Structures are given as C-alpha cells and as structure tokens.
C-alpha cells in the first residue's frame, strides 16, 4: 500500500474519520504495516504491548480459555482496534489474537497512541465511543449468560 492508500483506508474507519489530515498522515507514516496469514498470532496472552493494532483488512479471532475447559472465541474485523485496553490499563494482554483470514494491520506505537489521545480530541472521543460500545456488548453477553445459569 502507498501512503495515500493508507491514509484513505484509515480515513474510512470510524476511529479516524474526524482526525485532522496532518495527524492522519502522521499515523500512516509512523504506523508499522504488518501482514498476517490465517492462523498467525498477532498478540499472545500476558504480552506487554508496545502499540495498538488497527485491522485494515481481514478478521482476527480472540481465544480466551474458560474455567472448566474449552475456549470462548469471538471475531473482530476490518476497522477494529485491539490492544488499546491493555495499553490504557497498563496490564498485559489476556487473550490470544490470531488471524482468522489474511490480515493487514497497522501497528500504532504506544507513544503515538497516547500523543493522539492527548492532542486530538476527535480521536479521544472516537476511542471512548469504541470502548463504550465494547463495554455495552460485554455487559449484554454477561447478562445473557447469567440468565441461562
């Protein structure tokens, strides 16, 4: 992908739609483009992350071991971000994230991620909305699990 293609791809994602052009270009320039084949691991449990991953193309699968055996799995696709919760909380990652399909990801370094949060209100708000949406989904899943117990 070219720089212009990366910028266009980022601009199409909800997290980056309202970001000023100069900051978007900085993200595209400083982000590390990574490609993963199906089954490749992007993030391992207990990994201390040095950046967040923006899924530019493809799907990633999260696998979390369950008490009593088995795994809980869920998928995120193009436009999603992962690693932000771990960075914001200062805690190691808790699940395995692997490529479900061929994945093109942009790894945004931790320092740049925090700089964007501090200096680009539109990005901060987009991250807050994304996190709130995930919390709402998690609460819904947990409530439905408890109803069946």
Distance, in Å, from the CA atom of 136 to the CA atom of 16, rounded to the nearest integer, reads: 21
**Residue 146 maps to a domain:** no
In a domain, 86, yes or no: yes
What is the extent of the structural domain holding 132?
3-109+120-138
The domain that holds 20 is classified in CATH as: 2.60.120.10
pLDDT at 1 over 70: no
Residue 147 lies in a domain: no
**Continuous H helices in 18-83:** 21-30
In this predicted model, which residue has the larger pLDDT, 109 or 147? 109
* 10 within a domain of the structure (yes/no): yes
| Segment 99-122 mean pLDDT | 94
pLDDT of 16-62, one tens digit each? 999 999 999 999 999 999 999 999 999 998 888 899 999 999 999 98
* Residue whose C-alpha is closest to residue 53's, from 74, 77, 37: 77
Question: What pLDDT does 5 receive?
Answer: 84
Phi-psi region of 19 (alpha: psi -120 to 50; beta: other; left: phi over 0): beta
Q: Is residue 115 part of a domain?
A: no
Flag whether 47 is in a domain.
yes
Structure confidence by residue, pLDDT tens digits, 68-107: 777 677 677 788 888 999 999 998 888 889 999 999 999 9
Which neighbouring-strand residues pair with 65? 71
pLDDT at position 109: 96
- Do the domain assignments include residue 114? no
> Does the residue 81 lie in any domain?
yes
Q: How many domains does the chain have?
A: 1
């Amino acid at each position: 992908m070219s720089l212009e293609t990366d910028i266009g791809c980022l601009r199409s994602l909800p997290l980056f739609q309202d970001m000023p052009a100069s900051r978007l270009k900085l993200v595209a320039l400083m982000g590390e483009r990574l490609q993963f084949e199906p089954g490749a691991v992007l993030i391992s449990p207990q990994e201390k992350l040095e950046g967040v991953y923006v899924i530019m193309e493809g799907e990633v699968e999260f696998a979390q071991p369950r008490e009593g055996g088995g795994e809980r799995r869920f998928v995120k696709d193009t436009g999603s971000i992962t690693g932000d919760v771990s960075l914001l909380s200062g805690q190691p990652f808790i699940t395995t994230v692997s490529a479900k399909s061929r994945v093109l990801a942009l790894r945004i370094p931790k320092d740049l991620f925090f700089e964007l949060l501090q200096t680009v209100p539109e990005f901060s708000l987009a991250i807050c909305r994304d996190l709130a949406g995930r919390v709402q989904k998690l609460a819904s899943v947990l409530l439905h699990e408890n109803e069946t117990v």
